[in-house]
Amino acid sequence: MAELTRTNKPPQAIAQQVSEDRGVIREYLAFVLAGEVYAVALTRIREILSPPPITEVPRAGRDVIGVCSVRGLLVTVVDLRRRMRLEEAPISRRSRILLAIANSGEVVGLMVDEVKQVIRLAEAEIEIAQTVLGGDVSEHVMGIARPASGVVVLLNLGSIVSGGNRG
Amino acid sequence: MAEIGDKAREEFFSEAQEIIEQLSRSLLSLDAAEKGGRSDPSLVNEAFRAVHTLKGLAGLFGASRMGQLSHELEDVLDDLRLGRINLSANVLDLLFEAVDLFGHVLTAEREHSDEPIPQLDELLMRIASMGQSAPSVSHPIAEYDLDPGIMAVLTEYEEHRLRSNVEQGLGLFRLRVHFDLATIDKALEDIKQRGKAHGEIITYLPTGEATSPDTIELDLLMASSDDLATLRASLGAENIVIEEVPRRRISSATIPPPGLTGQGPVTSVVPPKPESVVPRARHSEIAPQEAQGSLRSVTQTVRVDIRKLDHLMNIVGELAIVRGALSRTAERLRGEGMRQLASELHRLHRTFDRRLSEMQAGILEVRMVPLGQVFDRLARVVRQISREVQKEIRLVITGAETEIDKLIVEELSDPLMHMIRNAIDHGIESSRQRESVGKPPAGTIALNAYQKGNHVMIEIEDDGAGIDEAALLEKAVRIGKVDREDVGDLTREEILALIFLPGVSTRDEASDFSGRGVGMDVVKTNIAKLGGVIDVHSERGIGTKMTITLPITLAIVSALVIRVASQVFAIPLSSVSEAIAFDERGIRVVDGREVMTLRGTTLPLCRLRQLFQLTGTRDGRGFVVVTEVGNRRLGLVVDHLVGQQDIVIKALGETLASVRGFAGATEMEDQKVGLVLDAAALIEEVLAGIDAPRELMRSNG
């Protein structure tokens, strides 16, 4: 597993470069959910954590695992498998929580199976989901990319994090 | 808007806000004084100063519309000060409108909005068209044998004050006082303060006849309703000689009643102001003793952003966790035989504990503000609405000094305003109706606040017609909130509680006032968000009383930590009255609900394990935690009592905002997060779920 190292450079500086013919190049964080590789825009991810103790919240939506404290900050942890309607699995040694920033500014934790690496994708490399798969895709899927390492499903973090407790 | 740092801008807004509130208070006192037949020039001065400061601030921050409004108002208040216009109800209305407009203008400036504010233009027009009534030209002052030298050097303001005092038929006195030059400030202040009780000191001038180079002699011109003997007895001293200013001729006919101007004999006894005014060592036009008061408050208070206090509170919360770790470490050291180190650490822990508690209390105290802040605004609303609906309303406020968390005060103003509106609009009858049932024509609204344990109680009581229970019930049935068959089963209290259902109003057609904005259901929801409850009592024909029970603070609370299955919860102690051992055999089922008898009363029960659908083995022998909010009680059945702990409640994020029953979460000492139960919401949910229509429960979700 490729270790993700945070640099001191401002995220924008590394996360966005323009290549003349292929459009804007952005950085994405790739991770595994139920055996598939997914990725989200790196700029929305604040931190990657090993799961701390999580307190269940009775009556919360099914997607919500519970709440935990990250150095004094109260964070709601969402099971990304459940939110993506994937088959459930227990937390493993490799499970990680991505601290993602919602549009509202709230920091939400997303539980994923395993964090892979940061990938760089130019706009031209991304196929918009609706045009490839038709209109019937999850509202959370933004597009599909095929870097050298294989197929990556790009997720729309804004909709995932703000997705509420549907279901 | 000029480029100014955000911080400075924020300070500008909060300062402007404070000044506007102060202005509003001055105007309310002015209104009250006028109604009581007294006119108090110092109040006009206060208002003038507030507006003047606003003008200066506005200029500094390029807030042009605020500058314009304050400039025009300053002129109006100046005219009032100088007696160029009289303080009529119209002028007061205009001033109150201006206070409200300041709020709008300030919001617009804050949001950098350039949207036109039509009311502003309209008000400015009215100010401009407000003609100046001519000041009285004639002078009953002519009756007094005043030194023309004094008259010559009076400022316009002083002349006005002199005139207005004489018009009220007060006597004039001359106080000749010797002051030591070294202590003149203090001595002068002292005599002014003492003089205030008897009248008004209009001016003071040096006589130029000092007896030694270290002293100075001043003539104070004072107006008073007391006689010479009284004044001498009260103010007289070795260095003070008091004399009455003699009248030229005695004539009762020439003293016109106050307010009637221009009817006295036109004389020229008062000399015209000379072109060259003698330079004098004297005060500015605004009396210095008042200016000093305002200066003081500026230097002795600090404005703090509440977020900074929240941050401090968070740190304190984390230190509390460290405190727990210290205590555990001490125990471990003891266990490993290092007794001396252990007891040393124990001592440190105790000191730390004490200081930490003091710090918590200190920060809490900083967050507390008097309820008077919001009550002042309500007083303005009462005045405004009562004029609009043409009802005479007397507002009686008690307990304005009761303190409560700043955040709560902010959130409280809308619900309170709505209830006051309701009271005036629906509650209090017209004066004709009132007289026909033998009530005084003026309605009374009492706004009472007081502290009760860890809670603050606010009561809004009116002596109006009371709530029409039959009409309320009929309406609830009509909109389908109550089944017609159930009508007979409802108690009076339950019927009154229907007023909090959405869509129920005590009147069919919404009036201008209560029709806009929110209904009582929203009021209730907003109060509940603050961890409070609201109860209603009403007697037909006698009046209505709404009682709000609120926690003093939301920031840090003592809580009882309990365990159910494997999960730990905290319940704020402010809503816990006691905890007792749970005995399954003592439980009865009444109407599908489990209850037990507690010292002769029936206590409804709620098993948290079932309510929250917690699985896992039972962990302890079982307790009933009796929660009490307002006058409702509920016993929560839990497995185990962990103990008492101070907690910092943190709000659950938006993702969990719709989950009912929790006030937030808190960090426990073992780094885990514990959920904090919202007792008020649980009581509401459990009791309402069976008691009243189910809508009540849903509307609170």
pLDDT tens, residue by residue, B208-242: 666 677 777 888 888 888 888 888 888 777 778 88
pLDDT digits (tens, 9 = 90+) for B449-488: 998 877 889 999 999 888 888 888 888 888 777 888 878 7
pLDDT at position B277: 40
Confidence check: pLDDT of B349 > 70: yes
Which residue from B656, B664, B667 is facing A76, i.e. has the nearest CB?
B656
Confidence check: pLDDT of A165 > 60: no
Query: Span B661-668, mean pLDDT?
Result: 87
Query: Span B33-39, mean pLDDT?
Result: 76
Q: What whole-number distance in Å separates Cα of residue B698 and Cα of residue B11?
A: 41
Higher pLDDT, B148 or B74: B74
Q: What are phi and psi of B15, to 5 degrees?
A: -70, -45
Q: Report residue B124 as tokens.
A: 């400015």
Confidence check: pLDDT of A4 > 50: no
The pLDDT confidence band at residue B505, using thresholds 50, 70 and 90, is: low
- The packing angle between helices B118-129 and B89-110, to 10°, is 140
B656 vs A60: CB contact, 8 Å cut-off? yes
The pLDDT confidence band at residue B490, using thresholds 50, 70 and 90, is: confident
Q: A115 with A49: CB under 8 angstroms? A: no
The pLDDT confidence band at residue B608, using thresholds 50, 70 and 90, is: very high
> Residue A52: its chain B contacts at CB < 8 A?
671
Higher pLDDT, B698 or A77: A77
Q: Which residues pair with B144 in a beta bridge?
A: B247
pLDDT at position A2: 43
pLDDT at position B211: 67
Query: Span B36-63, mean pLDDT?
Result: 82
Q: Highest mean pLDDT range out of B118-127, B140-149, B511-520, B550-559?
A: B118-127
Q: What whole-number distance in Å separates Cα of residue B137 and Cα of residue B267?
A: 9
Residue of A54, A64, A67, A82 to mutate for B, most B C-beta atoms under 10 A: A67
Confidence check: pLDDT of B28 > 50: yes
Q: How many CB atoms neighbour CB B673 within 10 A?
A: 22
pLDDT at position B131: 58
Confidence check: pLDDT of B299 > 50: no
CA distance B636 to chain A (A): 16
B656 vs A78: CB contact, 8 Å cut-off? no
Mean pLDDT lowest for which of A51-55, A162-166, B95-99, B134-138? B134-138
pLDDT at position B363: 85
Q: Is the dihedral angle over the CA atoms B358, B360, B364, B366 positive or is it negative?
A: positive
**Percent of chain A scored above 70 by pLDDT?**
80
pLDDT at position A135: 56
Q: What whole-number distance in Å separates Cα of residue B699 and Cα of residue B525?
A: 8
Higher pLDDT, B315 or B511: B315
Q: What are phi and psi of B212, to 5 degrees?
A: -145, 165
CA distance B615 to chain A (A): 11
Q: Highest mean pLDDT range out of B142-151, B486-495, B656-665?
A: B656-665
Torsion of CA B684, B685, B686, B689, to 10 degrees: 110
Q: A151 with A65: CB under 8 angstroms? A: no
Q: What whole-number distance in Å separates Cα of residue B248 and Cα of residue B494?
A: 75
Q: What is the largest CA-CA distance in chain A?
A: 52
**Size of chain A in residues:** 167
Query: Span B636-644, mean pLDDT?
Result: 92
Q: Report residue B447 as tokens.
A: 């706004």
For A165, name the nearest residue in chain B, comparing CA atoms only: B655
pLDDT at position B55: 86
> Considering only CA atoms, which of B457, B413, B458, B422 is closest in space to residue B443?
B422
Q: What whole-number distance in Å separates Cα of residue B683 and Cα of residue B634?
A: 6
**CA distances from residue B603 to B58, B593, B598 in whole angstroms, order as listed:** 59, 10, 6
Q: Return the HEC string of A137-156.
A: CCCCEEEEECCCCCCEEEEC
Mean pLDDT of chain B: 78
Confidence check: pLDDT of A27 > 80: yes
**Size of chain B in residues:** 701
B654 touches chain A (CB under 8 A): yes
Mean pLDDT lowest for which of A64-68, B112-116, B375-379? B112-116
- Burial call A135-160: b when 16+ CB within 10 Å, e when fewer: eeebebbbbbbeeeeeebbbbbbbeb
A58 vs B614: CB contact, 8 Å cut-off? yes
Higher pLDDT, B134 or B170: B170
pLDDT at position B132: 52
| DSSP type of residue B265 | -
The pLDDT confidence band at residue B293, using thresholds 50, 70 and 90, is: very low
Q: What are phi and psi of B206, to 5 degrees?
A: -70, 140
Beta strands in B38-170 (DSSP E): none
A74 vs B653: CB contact, 8 Å cut-off? yes
CA distance B612 to chain A (A): 5
* Type of residue numbered B502: P
Q: What are phi and psi of B460, to 5 degrees?
A: -120, 110
> Residue B655: its chain A contacts at CB < 8 A?
64, 76, 78, 102, 106, 108, 161, 164-165
Residue of B568, B655, B666 to mutate for A, most A C-beta atoms under 10 A: B655
pLDDT digits (tens, 9 = 90+) for A116-163: 999 999 888 888 876 666 655 577 888 888 887 788 999 988 888 876
Confidence check: pLDDT of B172 > 70: yes
pLDDT at position B143: 66
> CB under 8 Å to B478, separation ≥6 — which residues?
none
> Residue A167: its chain B contacts at CB < 8 A?
none
Q: Report residue A111 as tokens.
A: 């539980």
Q: Highest mean pLDDT range out of A160-164, B83-87, B555-559, B682-686?
A: B682-686
pLDDT digits (tens, 9 = 90+) for B532-580: 888 899 988 899 999 998 887 766 678 899 999 889 999 988 889 999 9
B612 vs A60: CB contact, 8 Å cut-off? no
CA-based angle B230:B231:B237, to the nearest 5? Answer: 120
B671 vs A53: CB contact, 8 Å cut-off? yes
pLDDT at position A116: 93
Q: Are strands A152-155 and A36-41 parallel, antiparallel or unpaired?
A: parallel
Q: Between chain A and chain B, how many beta carbons pairs sit less than 8 Å apart?
A: 73
Q: What whole-number distance in Å separates Cα of residue B63 and Cα of residue B16?
A: 11
Q: What whole-number distance in Å separates Cα of residue B527 and Cα of residue B413?
A: 11
| B654 CB burial (10 A radius; 0-12, 13-18, 19+) | middle
A53 vs B675: CB contact, 8 Å cut-off? no
Q: What whole-number distance in Å separates Cα of residue B79 and Cα of residue B93?
A: 16
- The packing angle between helices B89-110 and B64-81, to 10°, is 160
**CA distances from residue B452 to A93, B332, B346, B381, B449 in whole angstroms, order as listed:** 52, 42, 36, 27, 10
